[in-house]
Structures are given as C-alpha cells and as structure tokens.
Chain A
Amino acid sequence: MELLSGADMIARFLQDEGVEYIYGYPGGAALHIYDALFRQDKVKHILVRHEQAATHAADGYARASGKPGTVLVTSGPGATNAVTGIATAYMDSIPLVVICGQVMSHLIGDDAFQETDIIGVTRPVVKHSFSIRHPSEIPEVLKKAYYLAATGRPGPVVVDVPKDMTAPTERYEYVYPKKVKLRSYNPVSRGHTGQIKKAVDLMLKAKRPVFYTGGGVVTGNASEGLTNLVKHLGFPITTTLMGIGAYPQSDRQCLGWLGMHGSYESNMAMHHADLVIAIGARFDDRVTNNTSKFCPTAKIVHVDIDPSSVSKTVRADVPIVGPAASVISEMISLVQGKEISQPEALTEWWQKIDGWRDERAGKLYELSQEGEPLKPQEVIEAVCRVTRGEAFVTTDVGQHQMFAAQYYKFDKPNRFITSGGLGTMGFGFPAAMGIKKSYPDDDVVCITGEGSFQMMMQELSTCKQYGVGVKIINLNNGSLGMVRQWQDLNYKSRHAQSYMESLPDFQMLIESYGFTALKVERHEDLEPALERAFADKNELVFLDVYVDPREHVYPMQVPLGSMRDMLLSKTERT
C-alpha cells in the first residue's frame, strides 16, 4: 500500500494514465500540484504564456492523436482564461481533461482571492465536471474524467481541486484504478441492426446518393471503414469542415467539403440527391443553410453516436445511434457481394456531378498577375505542394481558414486541425505547438492571418523555451478579411473596425525571439521562401505573406437559401 498526498496522487495518476505532456500555468491554488510535478520527470509540463493557449495546445494534440489532452491551471483567472479553449473543444467534441486549482475548501463561497466558481462558469461547455471533496477520491475522479472525455461523444471534462485537497501533509492510499464505472453513463457500442439494414436497403436502391460525413468519422477512427464502404458502393462523398481527410480528397469520388464555403459540386449534389447518408455529422447551420429548403428530394440516413444530434435540426428518415466505426463495418458486411439495383442511374448521377465539376473548373479564383499582390488561394496551393499534402495543418478563423480548407488537399484524417464549431481566433498557433511537441518528425503548419495570430502570438515565447519548430504562414491582408467580406456584401463596404491601422513589423517581432521570419510580397519569392521555411523540421519559421485584401471566399451560400443557392464570385451566382 502506497500513501501519497493529493498532489502526488495527481502527478502519479498522470504517469499511470500514460500522459506525456501537460500544458499549463502555475498559480497559488495549484502550487502543491506543481511541486509534485517538479519532483518527477515522466510527465512533462509545457509552460504556456496564457492559459487559453494551454487548452488549445492540448486540444491540438488531442485532434492529431485521438487521445485526450491534459491541461493544468490555477484557480480564478487561470481557470477563466482556459474557458475559451474548453468551449472550443466542446463544440468540436474533442477529449480534454482540464485540472483547475481552487481556493481552499473552507474559503469557497467567500469571494476569496482568485476564487471563481469554475464548475459553474464552464457548465454549459463541458461534457462533465467534478469537484474534489476528499483527497482519497482523486485517483477515481481523474480516471472518470479521462474515461468520460474519451468515450462516447468525446468532450472536455473539468476537475476542480481545492488547494487543501493537495496538501503535502495529508497522505492517503493510492491505487491506480484500471477501470471505472458510472451507472448513469453507458455510451452505445453498436447501432441497431434493423435500422442499419433499412439504411443499406435505401443505399442499394438509391439513384442519386451522396455520403455526407463529419468529425465523428475522424474522432471515431472510422476513416478506413468509410473509405472502403464508399469505394465499394461507388457513391460520391462530401465531408464537413471537421470531416476533412476522413476520405482521401484526391480520390475522384470525393467532392470536397460542403456548406457555406463548400465546393459548388458538393452543395449541388446535396441539393439534388435522393439519399443523403450522414455519418458523424450534425447538420450544423453552416452546412444546411435554410433547413426548410435543405435537400428537398432526399431521404436522410443519420448515423451518430449522440442521440441528441439525430433529428436535432433536420429530421432523419432512418436514425441510427451508434459509433461510426461499428455501424460502417456492419454496413460493409451487408453490402458485401450485393449490387446496387440501379447502376445506370448512378452513372447518370455521376455525369451530372462531373458536369457541375467542369462548370467551375479553372474558375475558382484568378491567379495574380505580374506586379499584383499574391492571392491567398495560390499561397495555400504552394504550401500544399511544398509539404506534399502531408503536413498537419492548423488554422485560425476567417478567410485564411476557408482558403486552407479549400486549397490544401488532405488524404488523411486528423491532419486538418481547425476550430469548426466555436470558430475561435487564436486557436491555430497554440494547437500547432501542441501537435509539434508530440509529432516532432512531421511538418506542422499554422495557416493564420494577422488578426488571429495577434490573439495568441505570446506563445512564440513558449516555442522558444521548448524549441517547438512549427511553421507559421501569415496571410497578411491588413484586415479582418472575413469581417470585411461580409461588410462588402451586406454593409455597402462600410469597413467598421475590420482594418488594422498599426500592425507590428512581424519580421522584427519574430526575430526578437530568435526565430527566422521572411517577408513575401512578390510572386517569385513565394516558393523559395516556402522551401526555406520547410528546410529544417526543428526550426520555427514565420512567413509574412502579403496577400490581396480585396479577395473574397467563394463559393458562399446565400443566407436563408437552399444548399444550391451560392455566390460563385463577385459577379456570379447560381
């Protein structure tokens, strides 16, 4: 029997759980825990420069690896700073365990120094939360936290630890709980076979089917199965922003991603489909546009692990509650050896889709001319070429995020890392940092803009301390591009607060941390700068790329319209 203090139990539990990195920031209420971490060397703590970055870094790691990320912050402002990151993880169903220091139990409720009711503050944005009431509970509560975060529909879990729970003087028995059980929590392990049969019947009979798959396929480790199923049936597939890479984008059957800035052919195929097979996607408003005009002729099969996602915004004709991987493998065994009943209809459907494809081919954007500023789209295409489409790509939020999603081609899941649900500016850089720490041999690129980057640029200091060699591509258009785009479209180009008057000299800023930064203004400088940036995997390089501020992201769905109602350029619409 081993007697440990609460603080040592936390350090020990993290070791036993196999946690390699935790991201955090110390403070009064967390000091016992920090001392316990200091006295061991298995779990490595990465000191960020702002707690929001800790959550994004752990989140980035979780998205890339599929395992829960771990964060440690102190009470009060430490914990509230983490809230944006917790909400970001919640909206995208990312497993995260956030351990927050708290003031001593007897002070709770007294408005003590650095006291915040963080359980209350985070309640709407966590999967669950715990407050430690006795040090002996710590191992079991932490195990429950990791279990809840990672299973079912994943999500962030907060564990609030009052300082007296970690007092070094009080020791209790420590046993690592291999398993925990919660009587009220039993995530489904497979879908209803009858429903799956019904879905497969519809699939085999469909004339104009389309797969619409989301982040659930990525987090549910179901990409391989999905790829097999889709290839076997020969159907077209479109993914959500969160589902990018779950099916190889270079394959002919992949139409790209769908929704507000999705590809023309994806949105057209959805609108005209007679069967939509949704897997691990949630019919989000950025996908469906006006739900009353959504897919008017389609029957809807909806597979999701979360029953509350099914029929939330769009009624499913065949709802299936279950994990994507197991439902897909059941579907595969049911279609095995069977033929689709209307192959000629499918051929016709493909002709239609190829027609849509051809309509827009070569018209997506206009390449920059000699003497003109670079187009953001061509920058992304160049990044994709130089990294051979194999990098981990994180983004912030705005036009650059959409361009990155549109013009970088992903053939693998867990590679496009973006804040899709919450749309958190500042996410990309710390997320890249979290990925690079765990994948040092891979290229990790943060595609950002000067607006987003400035929200978390203090993390340059963290990268310096730990030698984190991420690449930062700053698409600098001197304005909040997406805000500006909306102002151009809806406010007669009145650019209220979307222009930044006093940007720093990013090159000098980056160099002051001892990193390399290159300014790219001319066409011919782009490829050499990218080659330079990616020459050494261990080096942080920042490219400040000046791009055309007049550029808009297209296609863009017309508000309140159906999926096929799109602006295709500044002068064309469907």
Chain B
Amino acid sequence: MRHIISILMENEPGALSRVVGLFSQRNYNIESLNVAPTEDPTLSRLTVTTVGDDRVIEQITKHLNKLIDVVKLVDLTEGQHIERELMMVKVKALGAARDEVKRTADIFRAQVVDVTPNLYTVQITGDAGKLDAFLQAMAPVGILEVARTGVSGIARGDKVLSL
C-alpha cells in the first residue's frame, strides 16, 4: 500500500542523505520525495511517498525515527489528510491542438503560465492521481517536458506536526 510519510528533521547538512540513504540501504522504495525548510529555520520538512506492506511501513517509520536528525514524523495515510503535488508541463500547442490544450487545462483547473508560438507551459496542482490523469489527457497532443515537485501533504483537522 502507498504511504505518505512527513518528517520534521534538523535543517543540517547531511540530514537528507541519511534519510535517502536509509531507504536504499534497507531496500525500501521511494516513489517521490519533497523537502524544504519550515517556518522554523532549524527544521526542514520532508515528505516521502513509499510503498510497502504494514510490516515494511512499520520498519520504515521505526528506522526513520532512529535517525538522530529526525525530530518527528507522521504517516499521513493513517488518517484523513490533504495531499498535493505541483506539476509544470510543456505541451505542443500547434493548430487545433492549441485550443484543445487550453480547454483540457481548464477542465483540470490548471493554468497556462507561459506561452510560445509552439507550446504552452501548463501548471497544475492536485493529488498524484489527478496529475497522472492530466498527463494521460495530454499524451496525444505531445508532452515535451514534465517537472513534478513530488507529493507534499498535511493532516486534516486539528492535528499538527510540530515540535
């Protein structure tokens, strides 16, 4: 099963490599990874999506917690949560396809953020499934480049991941 694990860790050099190294060292999967500092400059938030059965996920969270640089973590998929990812796609936009791309973007509530005579750059946010669906819809037109941030997420309701 797919899990989204959000980690608060020390904003220190080498901390990221310990997390990433752990996954390769113990043969765990990383589907996507997203990391940036938080409002507290000493802390970074890292969100990783991974796949594994309950036993594997339990081991992943235990081993992550063991890393000295990891301060706190939560498996967001254990509860209600909001999952978002941002993607920018360059698609061919020539002739009739130009309008088709714009219409499809509107349907997905995506925005065209850059334009040339040959292509549109479209920005879209949503969960990973929505982004995948958009890419599928754009495939016949011709996808030239894709940049995805990887999943970020936060719990619904009053639950807060902080110190």
Query: A-side interface residues toward B, CB under 8 Å?
Result: 119-120, 123-124, 127-129, 131, 148, 182-185, 306-308, 311-312, 315
B66 interface contact, C-beta 8 A: yes
Whether B13 and A311, one on each chain, are in contact in the complex, defined by CB atoms closer than 8 angstroms, is: no
| A-B CB proximity, top 4 nearest | A308-B62, A184-B71, A128-B68, A124-B25
- B66 CB contact (under 8 Å) in A129, A308, A315: A308
A183 touches B55 (CB 8 A): no
Kindly state the separation between the CA atoms of A123 and B69 in the bound complex, as whole angstroms.
Answer: 13
Contact: B59 with A185, CB < 8 Å?
no
Given contact pairs A124-B25, A308-B65, a sample of 8 additional A-B residue pairs in the complex whose CB atoms are under 8 Å apart: A119-B14, A123-B17, A131-B13, A184-B68, A184-B71, A307-B62, A307-B66, A308-B63
Task: Kindly list chain B residues whose C-beta atoms are within 8 Å of the C-beta of A306.
Answer: 66
Residues of A within 8 A of B98 (CB): none
Q: Which of A123, A148, A185, A312 contacts B21 (CB 8 A)?
A: A123
The CA of A311 and the CA of B21, in the complex, are separated in Å by 22
Q: Name the A residues within 8 Å of B14 (CB-CB).
A: 119, 123, 129, 131
Contact between chains at B66 and A148 (CB < 8 Å):
no
User: Could you say which residues of chain B place their CB within 8 Å of the CB of A124?
Assistant: 21, 25
> Is B75 at the interface (CB under 8 A from chain A)?
no
Give the complex CA separation of A128 and B68 in angstroms. 7
A311/B66 in contact, CB under 8 A: no
List B contacts of A185 (CB < 8 A).
68
CB distance from B75 to the nearest CB of A (A): 15
Q: Which residue of the partner chain B has the closest CB to A148?
A: B68
Contact call A123/B18, Cβ cutoff below 8 A = yes
Check A183 against B163 for contact (C-beta < 8 Å): yes
Task: Report Cα–Cα, A110/B71, bound state, in Å.
Answer: 32
* Measured CA separation A442–B49 after assembly (Å): 55
- Interchain residue pairs with CB less than 8 A apart (27): A119-B14, A120-B17, A123-B14, A123-B17, A123-B21, A124-B21, A124-B25, A127-B68, A129-B14, A131-B14, A148-B68, A182-B68, A183-B163, A184-B9, A184-B10, A184-B68, A184-B72, A306-B66, A307-B66, A308-B59, A308-B62, A308-B65, A308-B66, A311-B55, A311-B58, A312-B59, A315-B55
B45 to chain A, nearest CB (A): 14
Cα distance A311–B65 in the bound complex, in angstroms: 16
**Which residues of chain A have C-beta atoms less than 8 A from B17's C-beta?**
120, 123
Q: In the complex, A128 Cα to B62 Cα: how many Å? A: 16
Interface size on B, residues (CB 8 A): 21
Q: Chain A: interface secondary structure?
A: loop
Contact pick for B71, options A128, A183, A307, CB 8 Å: A183
Measured CB to CB, the nearest residue on chain B to A125 is B25
Q: In the complex, what residue of chain B is closest to A120 when comparing beta carbons?
A: B17
Bound complex: CA A311 to CA B163 (Å): 28
Tell me how far the C-beta of B56 lies from the nearest C-beta in chain A, rounded to whole angstroms.
11
Counting CB contacts under 8 A, is B4 at the interface? no
A378 CB to closest chain B CB (Å) equals: 43
User: How far is it, in angstroms, between the C-alpha of A124 and the C-alpha of B25 when the chains are bound?
Assistant: 7
- Of all chain B residues, the one with the shortest Cβ separation from A124 is B25
Closest CB in chain A relative to B35 CB, distance in Å: 16
Q: How far is the CA of A129 from the CA of B21 in the complex (A)?
A: 14
In the bound complex, residues from chain A placing their C-beta under 8 Å from that of B55 are 311, 315
Asked if residues A184 and B59 are in contact (CB atoms below 8 Å), the reply is no
B70 and A184 contact, CB distance less than 8 A: yes
- Cβ contacts under 8 Å, A184 to chain B: 9-10, 68-72
Residues of chain A with a CB closer than 8 A to B13's CB: 131
Within the complex, the shortest CB–CB distance from A397 to chain B, in Å, comes to 23
Contacts of A311 in B (CB 8 A): 55, 58
CB distance from B24 to the nearest CB of A (A): 9
Interface 1/0s, chain B 33-55, versus A by CB < 8 A? 00000000000000000000001
Residues of B near A127 (CB, < 8 A) are 68
Whether the Cβ atoms of B68 and A307 lie closer than 8 Å is no
A332–B35 alpha-carbon span in the complex (Å): 47
Residues of B within 8 A of A308 (CB): 59, 62-63, 65-66
- When chains A and B are docked, how far (Å) is the Cα of A124 from the Cα of B66? 13
B8 to chain A, nearest CB (A): 9
Chain B residues within an 8 Å CB radius of A183: 71, 163
In B120-163, the 8 Å CB interface with A consists of 163
Return chain B residues, CB-CB under 8 Å to A128: 68
Pairwise interchain contact B21-A307, C-beta atoms closer than 8 A: no
A288 to B62, CA, bound (A): 22
Shortest C-beta distance, A312 to chain B (Å), equals 6
CB distance from A468 to the nearest CB of B (A): 35
A308 CA / B63 CA spacing, docked (Å): 6
Task: Please name all residues of chain A whose beta carbon is closer than 8 Å to the beta carbon of B163 when the two chains form the complex.
Answer: 183
What B residues does A119 contact at CB under 8 A? 14
B15 CB, min distance to chain A CBs, angstroms: 10
- Chain A residues near B62 (CB, 8 Å)? 307-308
Q: How far is the CB of B120 from chain A (nearest CB, A)?
A: 40
Write the nearest CB–CB distance from A331 to chain B, whole angstroms: 24
How many angstroms from the CA of A184 to the CA of B15 in the assembled complex?
Answer: 12
CB within 8 Å of A: which B1-37 residues: 9-10, 13-14, 17-18, 21, 25
Q: How far is the CA of A75 from the CA of B70 in the complex (A)?
A: 28
Smallest CB separation, A283 vs chain B (Å) = 13
B69: chain A residues within 8 A (beta carbon): 184
Query: CA of A182 to CA of B21 in the docked complex: distance in angstroms?
Result: 22
- CB A305 to nearest CB in B, in angstroms, measures 11
CB distance from B122 to the nearest CB of A (A): 38
Residue of A nearest to B8 (CB): A184
| B39 CB, nearest partner CB in chain A, Å | 17
Query: Is B65's CB under 8 angstroms from A307's CB?
Result: yes
Rounded to whole Å, the gap between the CB of A321 and the closest CB of chain B is 10
Q: For A120, what are the chain B residues with a Cβ–Cβ distance below 8 Å?
A: 17
Residue of B nearest to A183 (CB): B71
Q: How far is the CA of A47 from the CA of B71 in the complex (A)?
A: 39
Which of B25, B65, B66, B72 has the largest count of A CB atoms less than 10 A from its CB?
A: B66
Q: Smallest Cβ distance from A142 to chain B, in angstroms?
A: 15
